Chains A and B, each alone.
Chain A
Amino acid sequence: MNLNFECETGNYHTFCPISCVAWLYQKIEDSFFLVIGTKTCGYFLQNALGVMIFAEPRYAMAELEESDISAQLNDYLELKRLCLKIKQDRNPSVIVWIGTCTTEIIKMDLEGIALKLEKEIFLPIVVARANGLDYAFTQGEDTVLSALVQRCPKSHQDQDKALKRLVLFGSVSNTVANQLTLELKKHGIQVDGWLPSPTYTELPSLDHNVFVCSVNPFLSRTATTLMRRRKCQLISAPFPIGPDGTRHWIEKICHSFNRNPAYLNERENQVWEKLSSYLNLMKNKSVFFMGDNLLEISLARFLIRCGMQVYEIGIPYLDKRFQAAELNLLKQTCIEMNCPFPRIVEKPDNYNQIQRIREFQPDLVITGMGLANPLEARGINTKWSVEFTFAQIHGFSNAQDILELVTRPLRRNLNLNMDRLNEQFVL
C-alpha cells in the first residue's frame, strides 16, 4: 500500500513568488526589499498587495526598461543609485534584492553586483532569485531564507562546543513564534533562534551542533542550505499544522534532544475537544485541493484526521525527502481513519482538474482566487487557498482558525437557503 503520485502539465494558476515580499518585509522589521523586474511584476504587486502598497511599505520596484535589457545602461550604477537612496530615506539594516524572470533571462549578475556594492555602501545586500521560471508562490520565501542562511553568524568561540541548540525556520507571525516557543519550553526545550528573526541583526548563529526544524512545508531549499552549507542537523518532522501535526512535530524535536514528552496526549485531546462542534460539520464531507501554495499535504492530512474525505491533493512541487515525515503521517492517518489514499498531483493542470471536480462534485474545493467565483457559480463550494498562507495556522492554539476557514462555506450554506438560491443562479 503506497501513496500514488502523479504529475500533470503544470498549467495551473498560482501567485508569483515575488509576492513573498508582502509578508517578509513585515516579518523582518529592519529590512528593505527591492524587486528588480518589469511592469508586469509591478502590476502584480500593486494588485496582489493593493491594500498595503500605500502604507509606506518597505519594498519597492526597480523597473527594468528597454535600455536596461539591451544593456545600454549600466546595471551597477543604476542599482547603486537606488540603494543609496533607500539607505538615505529608510536606513534599513539589510536590502534584499528579489531577482525576477527578467533578470534571470538577461542573466543579470545580481550576486556579483551585490558583492561589490555592499562594500561601497556599507550595507548588507542579500540576493534571492524568487522568479516564476523556477518557483511557485510560497517558494519565494524559501529562496529568501536560503539566502539569509549564508548571512547567519558563526558561533562564538566561548560557546560550549558540545551544547546542542535548536533553531526553527519559517516565517510565522511573532505571536505564533511565541506560542510554539512556549509549547516547546513546557518540555524543557529552549528555542535558540528563529530564521527569519524579527530583525536582520538578530539572525541566529549556526554550526554543526545546531538542530534545525521547519514549521512550513515549502522550505526545502532552505533546509538543504542549512545542512550543506552550515552543517546543521535537520529534524525531519511533520509540520505543526493541526493538533496532530503539532504533536508529532513536538515529539520529533523532543526525541532529537533525548527527552520524553510529557502530557502531550492530554494537550492534543484538549484541542480536539474544543474543535468538536466543527468536526460534526465536517464529518464525511469531501475536499479537493487544486494546489497553489505547498501547504496542501499538511492541510489534507489534518482534514482527513477531522473526518473529511480528500479526493485529490494538487501541489505545485513536492520534495518527497523534505516532506517524508509529513507524507508518512498522511499515510498513517488515512489508514487509521479508514479512508482511501488521495491522489497527489504534482504540477496539476487546472483544466483537467475542473473536469474531475465536475465528476466528483466535492463538498469543498480549496482553490486560488481566479477559479473560486466561476466554481461557486456552478454550485461548488470553494475556499481561497491564499487565506491559509496569510492566516495563523500553526500550533495547538491555531487549529481552530484553520477549521474556521474550512467550514466557513459550509456554515454559509446553512445560513443561506442554498437550494432555493441555487435554483435561481446555477448555470
Chain B
Amino acid sequence: MGTLRIASSFKNVHAIMHAPLGDDYFNVMRSMLEREREFTPVTTSIVDRHVLARGSQEKVVQNIICKDKQEKPDLILLTPTCTSSILQEDLQNFVNQANLNTETDILLADVNHYRINELQAADRTLEQIIRFYLDNLKLQNINKTEKPSVNIIGIFTLGFHHQHDCRELKRLLTDIGIQINLIIPEGLQIHQIQQIPNAWFNIIPYREVGLMTANYLKQKFQLPFIQTIPMGIIETSKFIRQTQKIIYNTVPKKIETYIAKQIKSISQAAWFARSIDCQNLTGKKAVVFGDSTHAVAITKILVYEMGIQVVGSGTYCKNDSDWFREQLQSICDEILITDDHTKVSNMIARLEPSAIFGTQMERHVGKRLDIPCGVISAPIHIQNFPLGYRPFMGYEGTNQIADLIYNSFTLGMEDHLLEIFGGHDSKKIVTKELSVNQQLNWTPSSLNELNKIPGFVRNRIKRNTEQYARQKNCKNITIELMYEAKEALSS
C-alpha cells in the first residue's frame, strides 16, 4: 500500500503489483477517497493457479512490456505483496528481463510486507526511487538556486490533509522569502529528480514518510533538513526560526516581526485560547492517538496552547516509539504505543476523557462510549478529504485545529446548562460498564436523578456510586446514598 501511494503520487510512474485478484483495492481507495479524476496508475499482474504452477516470470514480463507500450511511463515500479513474498520468486530477475525489451526504467520495490507497515514501506520506496536517479549525480554538477529555496518532502496520495498542508507551507515559505524548489513526490516528474539537490535545504513535515530520503540527501549532497512539525503556534514559529538559521545563521528582525504579526492577526488561536469561552476547557481531559507526527503535535497544542489535560497519548508507529516518548515524556500522563486498536479503546474506556482526538477507529470508539471525537490522523474516511481549505499546518492550520478541538468539547455554556437542568437527553442508561452486578437496586427516584446527569459522565457516576454502595454494604441505592457517594469521592 505504501509503495503504491508513493508511486501514484509521481507523474507518469506506473506501478505493477504482483498480487492475486482483489489485492488492488488501492485503486478503489484512491479514486473514492481522493475523488481522483485520473485512472490510478496501478495494474495487477494477477497471481492465480496457473501462475502458481508455472511461475509468473512470463506473465510479469509481458505485463511490464505491455504497460510500457500502452502508457509510455517514465518508470515502472514492480511491487510485491504479502502473497508474492511467500512465493520467493526472483522478481529482480524479471525486472532485468523486462529491461531488455522496454524503453522505460524499471525498479523493484524493496519491501518486506511482514516486517514493515504501510508508512515504512512508503518511506523506503520514496528513498529508493530518489536514490536510483541521484546516485550517479556528482556534487560539482549541482547548480544551487540563486535565492534560498527548499524541497518539501513527504506530500503524497491519500495523506491526511496533505494537499491543504502543502498549500499552507508554500504560502508561509513564500512569505518569509524562501522559494519552493520541488514538492516530493506529489506531482513530481521523474526528470525533475535531478533538480532536487539544487535546493538549499529540505523540509520534512511528516516524520513517517520522508526522513529516509532526507537523510540520504544529507549524506550525499550535504543538504540540511528541518524536521520540526509546523503544527500549532509554538512549533510553527520555531519552524520559521529554524529555516532562517539554516540560511543566515541568525533570525533577522523582520522575521520576528512577521511571526508576531501572524500570531496577532492571522492565527486566531492564541487569542481564542485566552478568550473567556476557553476557560471552560481548562482541566478537561483528552486522549490523543494517531500517527506519531499528528499525535505529538496535537498533544503539544492541547497542553501548551489550550491548557487541556492530556491523560493519554499514543501512536501506532511502533518503529518511532523512542522519539514519541521523548517528545511527550513530561507533558502527558500516559503513553501508549500499540497497533492493536482494542488496547486503545480499553485505555479510552478506562480514562474516560471528555474528548478524543484520534483516527477513524477512535471515532467509532467515541461513538460507542458517547465521547466526542475529532479526527486528527490517518487511517481516515471520505469525510476527511474535505473540499474546503483545511490545513493543519502553519498559522491557518492553528485556526482549523482550534475549531476542531473546541467543537469536539461540548460548548461551555451548554455544558453548564446541562448540568443544572439535568440534561435534555433522557436516554435509557446503557450498560457499558464492567459491573454486571445485579444485586444492587436503584430506587426509582435515584434512577431519575441518574438520568438527569449528562450522558458522557453518567456511567462514571453510576459506577462510582455502585462501588461506594458495595463498600458500605448497601443493597439499595437511594438518592441520599448518591449524594453521599458524590461527596466521598470528590474529596
When distances are taken between beta carbons in the complex, the residues of chain B under 8 Å from A106 are 86
Extra contacts besides A38-B83, A38-B114, A66-B114 (6): CB < 8 Å: A47-B25, A48-B28, A102-B83, A105-B52, A369-B31, A370-B31
Contact A11 B83 (CB under 8 A): no
Q: Look across to chain A and name the residue whose beta carbon is closest to the beta carbon of B362.
A: A54
Which B306-365 residues have C-beta < 8 A from chain A? 360-361, 364-365
* B234, chain A: closest CB distance, angstroms: 34
- Per-residue B-contact encoding for A40-75, CB less than 8 Å = 1, 0 else: 100110111010011100000000011001000000
Q: Pick 15 A–B contacts, CB within 8 A, sort by A.
A: A10-B48, A14-B21, A17-B22, A38-B82, A38-B113, A39-B117, A44-B25, A102-B86, A131-B20, A132-B20, A134-B48, A316-B21, A369-B32, A374-B40, A427-B37
Closest to B25 in A: A44
The listed residue with most A CB atoms (<10 A of its CB), out of B23, B49, B52, B114, is: B114
A421 to chain B, nearest CB (A): 14
Q: Is B368 close to A, CB under 8 A?
A: yes
Give 1 or 0 for each of A364-393: 1 = CB within 8 Å of chain B CB: 000011111110010000000000000000
**Complex partner residue of A351 from B32, B38, B70, B117, CB under 8 angstroms:** B70
Q: Mark A95-117, 1 if CB is under 8 A from B, else 0.
A: 00000011001100000000000
Given A38-B113, A43-B1, A102-B86, verify A16-B22 contact (CB < 8 Å). yes
Query: Do A133 and B37 touch (CB < 8 A)?
Result: no
A43 to B121, CA, bound (A): 14
CB-nearest residue of chain B relative to A48?
Answer: B25
**A136 proximal to B (CB < 8 A):** yes
Q: Within the assembled complex, what's the spacing in Å between the Cα atoms of A263 and B21?
A: 45
Measured CA separation A52–B35 after assembly (Å) = 22
In this complex, what residue of A is CB-closest to B115? Answer: A66
B43-59 with Cβ < 8 A to chain A: 43-49, 52
Would you call A54 and B24 a contact (CB within 8 A)?
A: no
Please state if A373 and B22 are interface contacts (CB–CB under 8 Å). no
B81 contacts the other chain (Cβ, under 8 Å)? yes
**Ordered nearest first, which 6 A-B pairs have the shortest CB separation?**
A16-B22, A54-B364, A370-B27, A132-B20, A377-B37, A38-B82
Query: Which of B23, B52, B115, B118 is in CB contact (< 8 Å) with A16?
Result: B23
Number of residues of chain B lying within 8 A (CB) of chain A? 48
Q: Which residue on chain B has the smallest CB distance to residue A67?
A: B114
Is the CB–CB distance between A373 and B35 below 8 Å? Answer: yes
Using A54-B368, A377-B37 as known contacts, say yes or no to A40 and B23 having CB atoms under 8 A apart.
yes
A39-B113 contact given A133-B52, A370-B40, CB 8 Å threshold: yes
Question: Across the interface, which residues of B come within 8 angstroms of A46, CB to CB?
Answer: 379
Per-residue CB contact flags for chain A residues 403-427 toward chain B (1 = under 8 Å, else 0) read 0000000000000000000000001
The answer on a CB contact under 8 Å between A101 and B25 is no
What is the interface size of chain A, counting residues whose CB is below 8 A from a CB of the partner? 48
Interface: A311 (CB within 8 A): no
- Residues in B whose Cβ lies below 8 Å from that of A354: 39
B29 within 8 A of A: yes
A105 and B83 in contact, given A133-B47, A372-B31 (Cβ under 8 angstroms): yes
Asked if B36 is an interface residue, CB under 8 A from chain A, the answer is: yes
Q: In the assembled complex, which residues on chain B have CB atoms less than 8 Å from the CB atom of A371?
A: 27, 31, 39
Q: Is B475 an interface residue (CB 8 A)?
A: no
Shortest CB distance A168–B (Å) = 28
Once the chains bind, are B36 and A374 in contact (CB under 8 Å)?
yes
Is A15 close to B, CB under 8 A? yes
Chain A positions 128 through 162: 1 when the CB is less than 8 Å from some CB of chain B, otherwise 0:
00011111110000000000000000000000000
B381 close to A (CB within 8 Å): yes
Contacts A371-B39, A427-B37 given: A54-B31 contact, CB under 8 Å? no
Is B63 interfacial (CB-CB < 8 Å)?
yes
B436 at the interface (CB under 8 A from A): no
CA distance A92 to B118 in the complex (A): 33
- A18 CB to closest chain B CB (Å) equals 8
**By the criterion CB–CB under 8 Å, are B27 and A132 in contact?**
no
Q: How far is B22's CA from A66's CA once the two chains are assembled, in angstroms?
A: 22
Q: Are B21's CB and A102's CB within 8 A?
A: no
CA distance A177 to B55 in the complex (A): 45
Interface string of A11-33 (1 = CB under 8 A from B): 10111111100000000000000
Known pairs A132-B23, A133-B52, A370-B28; A101 contacts B83 (CB<8 A): yes
Which A residues are CB-close (under 8 A) to B387?
A: none
| B276 contacts chain A at the CB level, 8 A cutoff | no
